[in-house]
């Protein structure tokens, strides 16, 4: 390809709309342009990167026996009503009507469509397992689209769905996909960490997110400094602690203290001169509409996902002021476990607090020297607190470290959630109608490209790995007007192209500085520079973008050297 013909409008200045490096560089290198908020046009070089990532995905998924399909973007509302997600999905779903008033969505995901397809086609256990995937645009009307391809409203995603007779069969495909994902991201030049993630409020389904640790990431990941444990922070497990029974002789006498204007942990801590770890926070929730109390230590935060899992409830929300008053007899900020008539659930760490400070269930008062079992009882202990960096590892004696992560993929055991709600069954060997056991597996294709840039750039621009670079090599004659240089450039360009290498010839009549700047900005992994002096010596200069290493190589050897470098990569 000739540089003079590539539509790649590079920018010298960083556009104001771009906050993070990958977004800035994709705009500056002419890979991408914004059409509307969170909606982008991919220009030729950007699209080549996307297509290469897609190709790697196809190769690895085909290798584990999955088959490519293409499902509709426009999806009938009826299917979404069957699973109850037409309403549950909320304002993130783009909805539209056809000329007859029939409702549709622009697919934010495809569980409904694919399950409905399979339920009318696959009837026997003999046809299982079955795994299908597609690479296609998805639509989510994000409340805050940002960071270019990181969080768009229209984005390219690979989604795969698998159908099984039972859990064991799903387990096999789940781990096949997991290992395929490791290979896909590694081939894209990305180091990922598979972290345990939350699978939603109900059930104990397994799910892993593939995270690229990078400052631009929107997720918080906790990982162990000495073993392989890693989890999304909202899911990370806490370590059970138990103080045993508190000896009676250590318990001080229960006392009521006036605490006017002190209702937050910081205020109480200061007012009563106690550490926040000596205070017990009492939170009143409505679980499926019924009030319950949850206790965490004052220096800890509650994790509502964990609480909801423990309670096995469909809905969980903080109680309103009126409920809090009805339950505690006091306004917000003075709830405590002593004398409460509703079920009390507590984080493990509560059992370690001796002579605690709690709300008195009375406006402007707290109780001091409150002790478990003597003064209040707990219905159930569990891991309810938000795990944080610095906490002990739940698997070994190491410590958890926090990092930002970009989620590039997820593998997920759905179980029978969709097959049951869509009544998708097959006939088992014994003739029994059985719901399919399902898995689903996503990769953000554009986000993967963005994550590569976040991990691989310098002050001059993008540094693409050879595997997904828009082109592998650029040939840059210092002056196209110099006939010797131009001829040598055309010759090496043709030679490389004939060898199957993806090569661009910068044939523009520009100053060498401009050409080098563009080459570095776009991020061609290899650059061959042709100047008069090196030509006289029978050499060309090969520049490695990543290391900026410059090699003088005899003209007759250079194609071989390029081939060798590509092969090594």
Least distance (Å) from Zn ion to the CB of residue 396? 3
Angle formed at CA 122 by CA 116 and CA 126, multiple of 5 degrees = 150
Place of tokens 């969080």: 151
- Residue list 519-538, contact with Zn ion (CB under 5 A): none
* Complex with Zn ion: residue 187 or 235, whichever CB lies closer: 235
Residue 228 in contact with Zn ion, rule: CB under 5 A: no
Best CA proximity match to 60, nearest among 150, 208, 183: 183
Which one of the spans 174-182, 223-231, 327-335, 349-357 is the region binding Zn ion (CB under 5 A)?
A: 223-231
Mask: binding to Zn ion, 368-397, rule CB under 5 A, as x and -? -------------------------x-xx-
- Whether the Cβ atoms of residue 257 and residue 284 lie closer than 8 Å to each other: no
Write the CB contacts of 330 (distance below 8 Å, at least 6 apart in sequence).
Answer: 324, 359, 360, 361, 362, 363
Interhelix angle for 445-455 vs 21-28, to 10°?
Answer: 100
CA–CA distance, 483 with 339 (Å, rounded to integer): 94
464 close to 456: Cβ distance less than 8 angstroms: yes
Size of the site for Zn ion (CB under 5 A): 7
In the bound state with Zn ion, the residue whose beta carbon lies nearer, of 179 and 395, is 395
Site for Zn ion in 229-288 (CB under 5 A): 229
- Of 76 and 402, which CB lies nearer to Zn ion in the complex structure? 402
**Closer Cβ to Zn ion, 229 or 334, answer by number:** 229
Other beta carbons within 10 angstroms of residue 98's beta carbon come to 10
398 part of the interface to Zn ion, by CB under 5 A: yes
Q: Minimum Å distance from CB 45 to Zn ion? A: 42
- Judged by beta carbon, residue 74 or residue 396, the one nearer Zn ion is 396
Smallest separation (angstroms) from Zn ion to the CB of 91: 40
225 vs 320, beta carbon nearer Zn ion:
225
Three-state SS sequence of 188-215: CCCCCEEEECCCCCCCCCCEEEEEEECC
Q: How far is the CB of 219 from Zn ion (least distance, A)?
A: 20
Cβ distance to Zn ion smaller for residue 274 or 401:
401
Strand positions, DSSP E, 74-199: 74-76, 94-97, 103-106, 130-139, 154-164, 193-196
Q: How far is the CB of 222 from Zn ion (least distance, A)?
A: 10
DSSP 166: S
Among 2, 63, 227, 379, binds Zn ion (CB under 5 A): 227
Shortest distance (Å) from residue 432 CB to Zn ion: 43
Does 224 contact Zn ion by CB under 5 A? yes
> Which helix (H) or strand (E) is 490 found in, with range?
helix 483-498
State in angstroms the smallest separation of the CB of 392 from Zn ion.
Answer: 8
Which residue, 393 or 519, is less far from Zn ion as judged by CB? 393
Binding to Zn ion (CB under 5 A): which residues in 59-78?
Answer: none
CB of 399 to Zn ion, least distance (A): 8
Nearest approach in angstroms of CB 240 to Zn ion is 15
Q: Which residues of 63-84 are buried (b: 16+ CB within 10 A; e: fewer)?
A: ebebeeeebebebbbebbebbe
Quote the DSSP letter at residue 3. Answer: G
Stretch touching Zn ion by CB under 5 A, among 217-225, 331-339, 413-421, 545-553: 217-225
Residue closer to Zn ion, measured from CB, 276 or 399: 399
Rounded to 10 deg, the angle between the 44-63 and 445-455 helix axes is 110
Rounded Cα distance, 369 and 254, in Å: 5
Q: Residue 57 burial by CB count (10 A; 0-12/13-18/19+): exposed, middle or buried?
A: buried
Select 226 or 552, whichever has its Cβ closest to Zn ion: 226
Q: How far apart are CA 112 and CA 80, in angstroms?
A: 7
Window of 53-61, 142-150, 219-227, 315-323 that interacts with Zn ion by CB under 5 A: 219-227
Taking the complex as a whole, the smallest distance from the CB of residue 231 to Zn ion amounts, in Å, to: 11
- Which residues of the shown chain bind Zn ion in the complex (CB under 5 A)? 224, 227, 229, 393, 395-396, 398
């Amino acid at each position: 390809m000739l540089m003079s013909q590539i539509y790649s409008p590079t920018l010298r200045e960083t556009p104001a709309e771009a906050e993070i490096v990958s977004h800035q560089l994709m705009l500056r290198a002419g890979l991408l342009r914004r059409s509307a908020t969170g909606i982008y046009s991919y220009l030729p070089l950007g699209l080549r990167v996307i297509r290469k990532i897609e190709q790697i995905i196809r190769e690895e998924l085909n290798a584990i026996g999955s088959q490519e399909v293409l499902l509709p973007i426009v999806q009938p509302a009826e299917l979404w009503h069957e699973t109850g997600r037409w309403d549950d999905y909320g304002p993130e779903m783009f909805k539209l009507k056809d000329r007859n008033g029939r409702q549709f969505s622009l697919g934010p995901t495809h569980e409904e469509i694919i399950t409905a397809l399979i339920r009318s086609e696959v009837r026997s256990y003999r046809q299982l397992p079955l795994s299908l995937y597609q690479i296609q645009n998805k639509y989510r009307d994000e409340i805050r689209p940002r960071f270019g391809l990181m969080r768009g409203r229209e984005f390219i995603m690979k989604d795969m769905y698998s159908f099984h007779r039972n859990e064991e069969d799903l387990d096999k495909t789940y781990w096949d996909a997991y290992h395929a994902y490791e290979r896909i991201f590694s081939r894209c030049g990305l180091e990922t960490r598979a972290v345990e993630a939350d699978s939603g409020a109900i059930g104990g389904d397994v799910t892993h997110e593939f995270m690229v640790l990078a400052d631009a990431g929107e997720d918080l990941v906790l990982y162990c400094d000495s073993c392989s444990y890693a989890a999304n922070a909202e899911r990370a497990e806490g370590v059970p602690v138990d103080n045993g029974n508190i000896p009676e002789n250590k318990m001080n006498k229960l006392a009521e203290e006036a605490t006017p204007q002190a209702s937050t942990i910081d205020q109480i801590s200061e007012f009563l001169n106690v550490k926040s770890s000596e205070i017990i926070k009492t939170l009143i929730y409505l679980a499926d509409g019924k009030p319950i109390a949850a206790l965490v230590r004052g220096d800890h935060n509650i994790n509502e996902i964990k609480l909801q899992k423990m309670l096995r409830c469909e809905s969980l929300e903080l109680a309103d002021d009126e409920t809090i008053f009805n339950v505690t007899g006091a306004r917000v900020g003075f709830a405590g476990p002593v004398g409460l008539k509703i079920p009390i659930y507590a984080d493990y760490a509560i059992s370690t607090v001796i002579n605690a400070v709690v709300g008195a269930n009375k406006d402007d008062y707290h109780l001091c020297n409150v002790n478990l079992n003597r003064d209040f009882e707990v219905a159930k202990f569990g891991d309810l607190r938000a795990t944080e960096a610095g906490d002990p590892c739940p698997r070994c004696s190491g410590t958890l470290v926090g990092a930002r992560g970009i989620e590039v993929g997820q593998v997920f055991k759905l179980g029978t959630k969709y097959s049951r709600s869509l009544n998708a069954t097959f006939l088992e060997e014994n003739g029994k109608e059985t719901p399919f056991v399902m898995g689903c597996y996503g990769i953000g294709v554009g986000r993967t490209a963005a994550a590569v840039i976040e991990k691989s750039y310098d002050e001059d621009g993008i540094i693409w790995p050879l595997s997904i670079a828009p082109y592998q090599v650029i040939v840059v004659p210092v002056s196209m007007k110099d006939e010797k240089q131009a001829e040598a450039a055309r010759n090496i360009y043709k030679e490389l192209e004939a060898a199957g290498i993806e090569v661009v010839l910068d044939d523009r009549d520009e100053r060498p500085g401009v050409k080098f700047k563009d080459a570095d900005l776009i991020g061609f992994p290899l650059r061959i520079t042709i100047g008069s002096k090196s030509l006289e010596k029978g050499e060309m200069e090969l520049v490695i973008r990543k290391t900026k290493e410059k090699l003088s190589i005899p003209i007759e050897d250079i194609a071989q050297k390029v081939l060798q470098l590509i092969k090594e990569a």
